[in-house]
Structure 1
Amino acid sequence: MSLLSKSVKPSNHNLKTYINRELSLLEFHRRVLAQSQDPDFPLLERLNFLIIFSRNLDEFFEIRVAGLKQQLEIAEHRTGPDGMPLQEVLNQVSKVAHEAVTKQYEILNNQMLPQLKENGVHFVQHEAILEKHKAWIKEYFINEVQPVVTPISLDPSHPFPRLVNKSLNFIVTLEGKDAFGRQIDLAVVPAPRSLPRLVKLPKDISGLEEHYILLSAIIQEHISDLFTGMKATGCYQFRLTRNADLSVSEDVEDLATALKDELSSRRFGKAVRLEVSHKCPSKIAEYLMSQFDLKAEDLYYIQGPVNLARFISNFSIPALRFLPYIQNLPKPLYSKKPFFEILKKEDVLLHHPFDSFAPIIKLLKEAASDPHVLAIKQTLYRSGADSEIVQILAEAARNGKEVTAVIELRARFDEESNIEVANILQEAGALVVYGIVGYKTHAKMILIVRREADVIKRYVHLGTGNYHATNAKIYTDYGLITADDAICEDVHKIFMELTGMGKMAKLKKLFHAPFTLHLHLINLIDQEIKNAKANKKASIIIKVNALTEPQLIQKLYDASQAGVKIDLIIRSICCLRPQVKGLSENIRVRSIVGRYLEHTRVYYFYNDGEELLYCASADWMGRNLFSRIETCFPIENKFLKSQIIELGLMNYLKDNRLAWELDSEANWTKITPLDNEVIHIAQQHLMDSKVVR
């Protein structure tokens, strides 16, 4: 299988035809940040976007920047498909990231905190501690903080400590001598990770409004108490971001054991970013950089809490949140008939989060208890040990069903949880396999095998998103539940491919990576090119999370030049340059950033009026098409097809309120409705439309 990746043709792109991937991803993060300033969003939802930006940026440094730095060490002059030297990419990333972080804290300090205060939510920082707060703060410090905090002096017998990735720490300057008569100038105090970063003050000192004090402020207020006989002359927050990517050899004998070993090292990977308080003296900042082998471009001065990702609490102000949304059920599921009886007559399409995730739970529950069900097979990418699906699969195994779970242990940042899921299912008697080493199993599939009147019948769920009930409330995804014999047979063959060692499966209706998907996409685009050259109407609409694969980008350029009208709805990374004269004049690229995270993958081809529509688990990225197990499935039912085209594609092309458009210079601009133009918000339209799906 490794030969598949090697068969990918080298790219002929350059900066004029290929936008740098890392810079494109950073631009997506900036679009997320921009939502925190949207006046139409409730205040606490805007704060949430600010926090999401922090989390996104953390992962960007842990994975993308860390990867660039590693590549630079190996091959200093290496370039990507765009031809930009790695050092130049890092320079540009540093410039854009510094600007974005500065903007983030301007929004927090000048907009968010004042507006929260107006609405009765106060954040007490160290410089704002009042006299009435001090007694309670002291008591909290003595009872909660001091017993678990560990100050570490920096001297010849105490070298600089090995700090955990993204942990909050303080570097403290000291005067005086310790209990042993030593002159100690510096110390490090790691903030206890077991304590909340925001502590709610009691009402007897905060009044009717909600007052929260930062843990950092409590520690700073009593920092000298940690160094008896000495005086703290300065106390400055800092946080270190480390390389958190995992590397597991394809030659390992036990993937689960190898991953467990790697997980322990993730917390102490090589440093890639240092955040310090804006009050930190330059000499102290330089000292910290020297300890972590970082340069000036890796240093970020922060005008507030250095970890906004934990700057949140359950504020009890519903008026500052989105109104709750009651999810729908597709029309066929209003019937009280058993799920299998419904599926014998028609397919069921789910569009999350507008449609509930409950039907998937219902399907599995019925299968787990149905005496006629013989086997259940499912892929699990991100589910969680507390997932109801995991519990149902375990119960099905205990009920004597043949349960097979293909668990992708390497789903980034969910590795530990997935190992726990595997253990739960194995203990229940399920067969657990980890897919193919070197190829992540990213496909979303459920296969149920049932005996009906001495005939074996199969039922399938295929999706664009993970089997995660919480994500299904905040991610947009499609799921198809069907009893179509050809599709069920295809899914059966893919499961056999994942658990066995046979040759590549020959499928009837599904395309699958890393074998046929890329080639079929090329052929589908070629067919549109052929139609355009024959003066026929030709159109392509693609909705994915990211577009980076060089050959597909080149093929889309070819299609544009042939006259094919192309609309791309790309949530995050887009390396294609649209609207370039003579290259991509017929390509329009837009991105929607709203209440829900856009996650659907939908491919549409006009096909001379015989429209072809596919949903998939795969983005148009090299990793999805050549290094992952992915599925792409057709939507053939005319009603369901028209529903996806109208609500899942055209609806998003009409959005003139939350949509952004990409220009030929790689700049994203938010669309502004024209005067007297009706405002159309794609996600809101789906929530408001009481369409019986």
Structure 2
Amino acid sequence: MDNDSRQHESHGTHEHDGGADALRDPALYLNRELSQLDFNFRVLAQAQDPLVPLLERLRFLCISCTNLDEFFEIRAATVRHALDLGLPAQSDGIAPAQLLDLIHDRAAELVDAQYRCWNEVIRPALADAGIGVLGRNSWNARQRRWLRAYFRNKVMPVLSPLGLDPSHPFPRILNKSLNVVVVLEGMDAFGRPGHLAIVRAPRSLSRIVELPPSLAGKGKQAFVLLSSMLAAFVDELFPGMTVRGAYQFRVTRNSELVVDEDEVENLASALRTELVGRGYRPAVRLEIAHDCPKAIVRTLLLNFELGENAAYYIDGPVNLNRVIQVHDLVQRPELKYPPFTPRNRLEGAEVFKTVARGDVLLHHPFDSFSGVLELLAQASVDPDVLAIKQTLYRTGKDSAIVEALVQAARNGKDVTVVVELRARFDEDANLGVADRLQEAGVQVVYGVVGFKTHAKMLLIVRREGRRLRRYVHLGTGNYHSGTARAYTDLSLLTADVDIGNDVHLLFQQLSGLAPSNRLKRLLQSPFTLHSGILQRIERETRLAASGRPGRIVAKMNALNEPQVVRALYAASQAGVSIDLIVRGACTLHPGIPGVSDNIRVRSIVGRFLEHSRVYWFGNDGKPELYGASADWLERNLLRRVETCFPILDPALVDRVGREALQNYLADNTNAWELGADGRYRKCVPAEGEAPYSAQQALLDAL
């Protein structure tokens, strides 16, 4: 499949004369927002792949829709904000006004592809498998009677339709909520002429309803979307009037929270206040039924203060991502990925003794996250454990991590937790976690003003004989058991003295306002990680320039930091061989002769979300390998608290290099390569070459 990024017409193959200033040429950079949209085409390709189990294809389709929602809530909203403030173009040279038009065109292509996939591929395939997602035109008489009764009994009582007139102005529309604009004819009970009405579907209503087995057919399951019911029975809300049309719509709003931390005395209180209004912040996108009259579309755009380049016409449910419920409601193992049992490297172990003997590395989800949970669980009840310190960015509902921390505090341990209240879309959940921990006697810290705490650190202080020993967990992913089963990540458990001391100093910074300390092993944002990466890239550059091999392999979620990109370009010019495995947005443009022709960029999209950050530097035959919580993004390297930790055990260096890097460079099934023309192309096995999936190889090794 050819995925055309269409970011710059000038981004064709061309020679470049190099030089520091020349490496700032906007033509050398891909646009981050358009690159992020391209990632969602790669996700959608999984939904279109007949080799992927059917219900997983449905899940990938819905993920691409959810990702697009978040893109508009954050990335497109940021561009619109930049336009309002008159900010200049970024390193790619595309001004905000032009970028919004490019975003609209590319996103419209994605939306069209999503709904063609739904209407022409996934929905018919589900029906063939005995799983119906029934539109109103396909209901038989019995199904219609049951659905009408359901509508009257379960839906109508909570709806509050609003006719639009001078005394009833346009209602406030909640972010991403399901709504219907209704065209009416006739007079209401007060003799007022009908024109337009808005029906808002409260969040309390289920967006998808399963029909009773007797109505689905023998051995089948059938589902109906709430949007279909609203369209079919909306006339019941307006007795005595004629409904001339009903058109579903949804508005997406800017969801980036803005709290002036320098001006608030209590961040938690300020965030609670801000969260109340998040659902009604400025609009950035309008999704509207494709057959809605243009005059009504203009009315909606005017109300939401949006231009034509913010309208997207939908041939299907505007909230298509809600169909993901079918994946969970249908218990058909043959239509899903086969289950697997993760390897438990610490099962039945006395974790402290095991880690004291040597570092333990876990590669999730192939290695169970239970090893991390077991470390904390044993610490919470061990009488020799004196203190526990941990960062929490995302934890999940009913978190075993939180329960262990509460238990530890109740058992008299000194427990300090840095809770990042500003973790995007988890702010409310993290406020609840913070309250729960504080009630149990945990000392809760909210991080550093102006810098999100994104580092993944756990420090346990244990009395062993006459000395205190520090045990540390450092990870590339969150302390979230759910994502540990769905994301690839690395966990390092170590009792290394230097790493333990470094982590201790970091917690002092976070909780005690201590000055920045010189760390012996770890690199840290915003102080040494950015410069540390640049120094290591420049070292490889010097090696290559002197005739020795220069080599860099790095895996991350996204890449856009301009200095790092320029350093990689300079390294390529010197002859350093560079492989980058970048899952999502990438502004570096590989394959440009004279600039980046020694750089290869690939993206892996498969069963698991690729989330681990791994950096490998050849170092003249003495490789340095790091795991990190940070991508090579401006925000991670310059505006967050992040950790980058070395893998010191040579056996583990070899293992991570094989599993997390070389393994993925060999993938010819789920990999996409970014070409010199700025387009991603799906890798396919060469003639005579066997298909190879990196993720499947790791599953097969269990």
2:169 corresponds in structure 1 to 159
For residues 539 and 231 of structure 2, what CA distance do their matches in structure 1 show? 66
Matching residue's letter, 1:511: L
Distance 2:190 2:310 in 1: 37
Counterpart residue number, 1:428: 440
3-state SS in 1 of match to 2:81: helix
CA distance in 1 between counterparts of 2:381 and 2:333 reads 40
Q: Which sits farther off after the overlay, 309-318 or 52-61?
A: 309-318
Relative to structure 1, the CA distance from residue 161 to residue 392 in structure 2 (aligned partners, 3 Å threshold; closer, same or farther) is: same
The CA deviation string for residues 606-645 of structure 1, in whole angstroms up to 9 with x for no partner, is 1110111010001001101110000011101011110000
Q: CA deviation at 1:250?
A: 2.5
User: What is the distance in 1 between the residues matched to 2:195 and 2:63?
Assistant: 38
Aligned residue runs from structure 1 range 486-501, under 5 A: 486-501=498-513
Mapping 1:194-209, distance limit 5 Å? 194-208=204-218, 209=220
User: Which of 46, 62, 83 is the aligned partner of 1:51?
Assistant: 62
Matched residue, 1:323: 338
- Cα distance change on mapping 1:53 and 1:337 into 2, 3 Å: closer
- How far has the Cα of 1:121 moved from its partner? 0.5
Question: Please, which of 99, 118, 142 is the counterpart of residue 128 of structure 2?
Answer: 118
Match of 1:145 in 2: 155
Segments of 4+ moved more than 3 angstroms:
9-12
Q: Distance in 1 between matches of 2:538 and 2:300?
A: 55
- Deviation of 1:211 after TM superposition, in Å, equals 1.0
Question: What is the rounded CA distance, in whole Å, between the counterparts of 1:574 and 1:385 in structure 2?
Answer: 32
| TM-fit CA distance, 1:384 | 3.1
Query: What per-residue deviation string (whole Å, max 9, x for no partner) do you get for residues 566-613 of structure 1?
Result: 000000011111110000111000000000000010000111101110
User: What is the aligned partner in structure 1 of residue 202 from structure 2?
Assistant: 192
- Residues 91-138 of structure 1, C-alpha deviations (whole Å, 9 max, x = no match): 111110001100111111011111111000111112222212121112
**1:460 alignment partner, SS class:** strand
Alpha-carbon distance in structure 2 between the residues aligned to 1:352 and 1:227: 55
1:249 corresponds to which of 238, 248, 260: 260
Q: Which amino acid aligns with 1:176?
A: G
Find the residue that maps to 1:276 and give its secondary structure.
strand
CA distance in 1, matches of 2:59, 2:148: 30
TM superposition shift of 1:448: 0.2
Contact 1:379 1:444 in 2 (8 A): yes
Which of 8, 25, 42 does residue 14 from structure 1 map onto? 25
TM-fit CA distance, 1:454: 2.1
| Equivalent of residue 652 in structure 1, options 658, 664, 669 | 664
* TM-fit CA distance, 1:10: 11
- 2:618 corresponds in structure 1 to 606
Q: Find the aligned partners of 1:260 and 1:11 in 2 and give their Cα distance.
A: 47
Post-superposition Cα deviations, 1:131-165, rounded to whole Å, max 9, x if no partner, equal 12121112101110111111111111110000100
The 2-side partners of 1:248 and 1:188 are apart by: 32
Q: Which amino acid aligns with 1:100?
A: L
1:75 to 86, 93, 100: 86
2:71 corresponds to which residue? 60
Q: Which one-letter code corresponds to 1:601 in the other structure?
A: R
Aligned to 2:157, what secondary structure does the other structure show?
coil
The number of residue pairs the alignment matches comes to: 678
Q: Does 1:136 align with 2:151?
A: no
Highest RCO, 1 vs 2 (Cα 8 Å, sep ≥ 6): 2
Query: What SS does structure 2 have at the residue aligned with 1:683?
Result: helix
The question of whether the paired residues in 1 share the 8 Å contact of 2:396 and 2:482 is answered with no
| Separation in structure 2 between the aligned mates of residue 444 and residue 225 of structure 1, nearest angstrom | 54
1:104 corresponds to which of 104, 114, 125: 114
Map 1:119-518 to 2 at 5 A: 119-208=129-218, 209-251=220-262, 252-312=264-324, 313=326, 314-330=329-345, 333-334=346-347, 336-518=348-530
Match of 2:158, SS?
coil
Partner AA of 1:149 in structure 2: L
Following superposition, the deviation at residue 228 of structure 1 comes to 2.0
Output the CA distance in 1 between the equivalents of 2:139 and 2:690.
Answer: 48
Partner amino acid for 2:259? V
Tell me the equivalent position of 2:653: 641
Q: What CA distance in whole angstroms lies between the structure 2 residues aligned with 1:36 and 1:684?
A: 18
RMSD: 1.3
Contact 1:22-1:93 within 8 A present in 2 as well: yes
> Is 2:23–2:569's contact at 8 Å kept on the other side of the alignment?
no
Q: Which amino acid aligns with 1:476?
A: T
Corresponding residue of 1:570: 582
Q: Aligned letter for 2:187? A: K
Aligned counterparts of 2:24 and 2:161: Cα–Cα separation in 1: 53
Residue 666 (str. 1) matches residue 678 (str. 2): yes
**Kindly tell me: are residues 97 and 11 of structure 1, through their superposed partners in 2, closer, same or farther at Cα, counting changes over 3 Å?**
farther
CA distance in structure 2 between the partners assigned to 1:674 and 1:337 by the alignment: 45
- The separation in 1 between residues aligned to 2:25 and 2:608, in whole angstroms, is 34
After superposing the two structures, state which structure 1 stretch, 453-462 or 197-206, moved more.
197-206
Shift of 1:12: 6.2
Contact 1:19 1:577 in 2 (8 A): yes
More displaced stretch, 55-64 vs 128-137: 128-137
Displacement of 1:385: 4.7
Partner of 1:3: none
Q: Is the 8 A contact 1:155 1:184 kept in 2?
A: no
Q: TM-score, normalised by structure 1?
A: 0.96
* Seq. identity, %: 50
What are structure 2's unaligned runs of at least 5 residues? Answer: 1-19
Residue 554 (structure 1) aligned with residue 566 (structure 2): yes
